[in-house]
Amino acid sequence: MLISKPPDIPPSEITDEAVYNGRRRFLAAASAATAGLFLNRVSAADLPPDLPGLPPARPSPFSTHERKTPYRDITNYNNFYEFATDKYSPATLAASLTTRPWTVTVDGAVRRPGTYGIEELIRMNPLEDRIYRHRCVEGWSMVIPWVGFPLNRLIRQVEPTGNARFVKFVTLYDPREMPGQRSDILHWPYVEGLRIDEAMHPLTILAVGLYGRVLPNQDGAPVRLVVPWKYGFKSIKSIVRISFVEKQPLTTWVRAVPSEYGFYSNVNPRDDHTLWSQARERRIGDFFKRPTLLFNGYGEQVAQMYRGMDLDKYF
């Protein structure tokens, strides 16, 4: 299948500056009148509260230059079914999650399996600031300043064998601290997976913080996957195990609703969910929707991995 290259510049960046700035002032006023209907808290400080810091992180050339979503929105509008199915409750319910000490086990088809403490992972891998677009399957999006390191560094350290064709990720299972796991809304623990070339791609990171501070619990503390060209549910949170396997893993959402959530889950504006269109999205803080970009705008970097694939069949 021929994959067309998405526009290099999103629509908001080609609007005349005077018109755009005037539109922003109008939208800010409109949002204030509608009392948080679209979570437009653009006046909130972009600095997080007094959370522990992280080692210095270097800027990444992979970052977007789009306006970052305010910290308050990133940490108060979350999908985290381990705590609740709505977007607001995880910010409160996740506060009790114990994230220190924390270990991540790496096993399967690797020559150097092991179990790593979160502090060890951070010491082993220099951190980077990665400002990425984040696209949720429900139609909303953000621009998030993650702090993390490329997953491929860890992969090289554990030395996968020739049988490692996929990477399987597993979230913590602890119904005492994760009340959503007491329900049968999904099969627990949460499982996600990537093809090995996707996992090795330099855009794929393990995030341990945002806005220069440790990752808040509701955003997947203490370590989560971030795959910016895929829908947000692929970016599994609170990881405790990374396994290198030969067969494609049965992921949580594929197991739950295979007709709606495919294994690849690349952002594709042509592939609608059964309940809504994926052709447009609403950036948190904006009033109007914008066109959804193929691969979330990262097509120039990742499209070659899917050359020849029918992306409507392998969605």
Nearest CA among 229, 231, 205 for reference residue 130: 205
Evaluate whether residue 74 is within a structural domain. Answer: yes
Query: Residue 245: which domain range?
Result: 11-306
Evaluate whether residue 188 is within a structural domain. Answer: yes
CATH of the domain at 144: 3.90.420.10
Residue 49 pLDDT: 67
Residue 45 pLDDT: 52
pTM, entire model: 0.85
State the Rg of the chain over Cα: 19
Q: Are 23 and 93 in contact (CB under 8 A)?
A: no
Q: What is the mean pLDDT of each run of 10 residues along the chain (315 residues)?
A: 38 36 38 36 55 91 96 96 98 96 98 98 97 96 98 98 98 98 97 98 98 96 98 98 98 96 96 91 96 98 97 91
Q: How far apart are CA 4 and CA 179, in angstroms?
A: 43
For strands 128-135 and 58-59, give the pairing: parallel
Q: Are 3 and 299 in contact (CB under 8 A)?
A: yes
Evaluate whether residue 314 is within a structural domain. Answer: no
Q: How far apart are CA 214 and CA 110, in angstroms?
A: 29
Evaluate whether residue 4 is within a structural domain. Answer: no
Number of domains in the chain: 1
Evaluate whether residue 276 is within a structural domain. Answer: yes
Evaluate whether residue 233 is within a structural domain. Answer: yes
Q: Are 54 and 197 in contact (CB under 8 A)?
A: no
